[in-house]
Structure 1
């Protein structure tokens, strides 16, 4: 089990790094979108390539950010009921969800998405739009994103089982976001500093 916990921590660190890189893709998308809009309305000129790079960056943000979001336990869920249960019961619910929903779904998308991306690479698929970009990098994001989500699902599964065995602290898989009360307190403190 110690090897699995080490593997889980490695996957977590990898997805943390990817999550931070994706935040730069978000900045790039905003800058490109802003620049494209300014050029379009100022000079009445634009390029399909600039529009497509925005779509590619959005795809990267969405597909690569899901594993980071799962790592931080920020995916949408029904906490109204499970939030009232013990940590052990929550861990069992998560294990069930990972085994019967998340991992089969990501496995199916990987199974179907990899040949789709490989065919696009093989044919060097290009956009049908005038001035468009190559398409295969965007299609390759599908299997990469779902591979990372699968790996993070395995990591989360390992942590829940480790918790049930008394080898992992529950803080390793709790939400990382601030509570509304903490956010309000941070705003108050920031206003007091001015």
Structure 2
């Protein structure tokens, strides 16, 4: 336990760095959300205006761009969501627990569920993404977008979520040690 006491301050600094990274990525995703809305509007206008003119002004690329922008927000935003406690919990029980029990639940949840799950996704995701890059995989839809860049977001997203899980575990351990985190 003496080792943990000496390591807590550097671990809390690491946690702070991870939290800052998650915040910056989350703030950057605002631009992706704006892009998602703009592409959606262009796609809808193109579809309806094209129908009026008897032309095809929409495309599979626009539809896939919307899907891929949403995927980026979902994959990269999960760490930001975890950082700001925006994920789903069973609040009916959680609200009745004291701070110490909540810290234990958060620590054990991170160590036994979140971090191992992220590790599995990263381990299996590497081959999946590498195959996509080796083929320079493209959507099978006519005029579709490349898939290998968006599949790379799986690795980036789970890496960010893993880091944020480590940060959450550090802060929970600090709270259990009586430190402010």
TM-score by length of 2: 0.90
Unaligned runs of 5+ in 2: 1-7
For 1:134, what is the secondary structure of its paired residue?
coil
| Counterpart-to-counterpart distance in 2, 1:122 and 1:142 | 16
Cα shift readout 1:112-170 (whole Å, capped 9, x = no counterpart): 1121111111211111111111110111111110110000000000001011112224x
The match for 1:119 among 106, 116, 131 is 131
Task: Name the counterpart of 1:161.
Answer: 173
Runs (4+) of structure 1 moved beyond 6 Å? none
> Size of the alignment, in residue pairs?
169
Cα shift readout 1:40-78 (whole Å, capped 9, x = no counterpart): 110132111111111110000100111000000111001
Q: CA RMSD in A?
A: 1.0
Task: Name the counterpart of 1:41.
Answer: 48
TM-score by length of 1: 0.84
Task: Name the counterpart of 1:189.
Answer: none
Task: Name the counterpart of 1:91.
Answer: 103
1:51 aligns with 2:63: yes
Task: Name the counterpart of 1:14.
Answer: 21
Task: Name the counterpart of 1:142.
Answer: 154
Bigger drift between 7-16 and 100-109 goes to 100-109
Unaligned runs of 5+ in 1: 170-194
For 2:142, what is the secondary structure of its paired residue?
coil
